[in-house]
């Protein structure tokens, strides 16, 4: 879905972008994946400047992927599957320690992939939460179960401080701009299985090629 900059933000459209990530033969389409992250970053920015250290990093990773797509070997970067094959076949990935390829598509997408697991866990908590649940607690629980194990102490500390600035559940739902709380819950119920599938397909691919620990 194309979103004009001045159009009112709606999280449904963003999550729909993730739905369109899987091709018929279950390949993950990088343009759609990146578009999904762009939308999420916009959403996060609308929650406040305290999240800008997070969105800066996400934006730089998005930009690296866009540069690969726009580069002379852009066709190799149409799907995550073709990217993995291309970069591995041509020795374009640092496998055990950082070296010549700090911006490989494989290591960059892995960071977004790990963040997608956070998103899945967070949205699932949001979907099943009670009216008086705290978004900051849901967010940090999801973070501690996923991304936190890849982050050094300082980033974990800063992240958990930022989570405390999240608005309460009612405001959070309003910012999502999807409709009533019931409609939000229904929308999340539709979107989550697809986000989860995109995550699983990527996870299996990375695991098969032993890429889950790329430095
Ligand atoms: C709605 C509230 C937003 C909560 C976001 C939860 C994620 C917290 C992640 C904090 C990471 C901040 C700083 C940068 C960390 C980087 O060091 C790592 C590893 O990259 P490397 O250093 O190896 O190149 N980056 C990441 O782990 C990617 C993080 C992407 C986070 C995207 C969040 C988008 C949130 C959407 C909100 C709906």
Which domains, ranges and CATH numbers included, belong to the chain? Answer: 11-206 (1.10.3520.10)
Please tell me the predicted confidence (pLDDT) of residue 1: 46
Residues in the chain: 215
| The predicted structure's pLDDT at residue 9 | 77
**Mutate-to-test residue for ligand 1 from 151, 157, 178, 188, highest number of ligand atoms within 8 A of CB:** 151
For residue 165, give every residue at least 6 positions away whose Cβ sits within 8 Å of its Cβ, in sequence order, or none: 47, 48, 50, 51, 136
Is the separation of the CB atoms in 165 and 50 below 8 Å? yes
Tens of pLDDT, residue by residue over 34-49, are 999 999 999 999 999 9
Cα–Cα distance, 16 to 20 (Å, whole number): 7
Pocket of ligand 1, beta carbon within 6 A: 40, 43-44, 47, 51, 53-54, 57-58, 111, 114-115, 118, 139, 143, 147, 155, 159, 166
Q: Which of 57, 97, 117 to mutate to test the pocket of ligand 1 (most atoms within 8 A of CB)?
A: 57
Mean pLDDT in residue range 46-64: 95
SS3 116: helix
Beta strands in the chain (DSSP E): none
Report residue 109 as tokens: 């997408």
The rounded mean pLDDT for the chain is 95
Report the range of poorest mean pLDDT among 6-15, 88-97, 155-164: 6-15
Residue written as tokens 């004009």?
4
The CA distance from 103 to 174, in Å, is: 37
ipTM: 0.97
Q: Atom 27 in ligand 1: which residue has the minimum CA distance?
A: 111
CA 24–ligand 1 middle distance (angstroms): 29
């Amino acid at each position: 879905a194309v979103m004009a900059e001045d159009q009112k933000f709606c999280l449904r459209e963003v999550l729909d972008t993730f739905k369109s990530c899987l091709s018929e033969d279950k390949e993950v389409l990088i343009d759609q994946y990146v578009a999904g992250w762009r939308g999420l970053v916009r959403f996060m920015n609308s929650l406040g400047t305290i999240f800008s250290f997070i969105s800066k990093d996400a934006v730089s990773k998005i930009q690296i992927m866009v540069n690969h797509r726009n580069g002379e070997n852009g066709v190799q970067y149409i799907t995550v599957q073709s990217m993995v094959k291309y970069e591995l076949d041509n020795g374009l990935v640092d496998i055990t320690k950082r070296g010549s390829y700090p911006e490989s598509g494989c290591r960059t997408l892995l960071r977004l992939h790990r963040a997608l697991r956070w998103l899945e866990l967070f949205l699932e908590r949001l979907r099943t939460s009670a009216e008086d649940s705290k978004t900051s607690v849901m967010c940090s629980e999801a973070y501690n179960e996923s991304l936190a194990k890849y982050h050094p102490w300082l980033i974990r500390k800063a992240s958990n401080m930022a989570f405390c600035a999240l608005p309460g559940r009612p405001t959070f739902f309003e910012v999502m701009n999807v409709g009533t709380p019931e409609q939000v819950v229904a929308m999340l119920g539709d979107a989550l299985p697809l986000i989860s599938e995109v995550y699983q397909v990527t996870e299996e691919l990375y695991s098969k090629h032993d890429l889950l620990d790329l430095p």
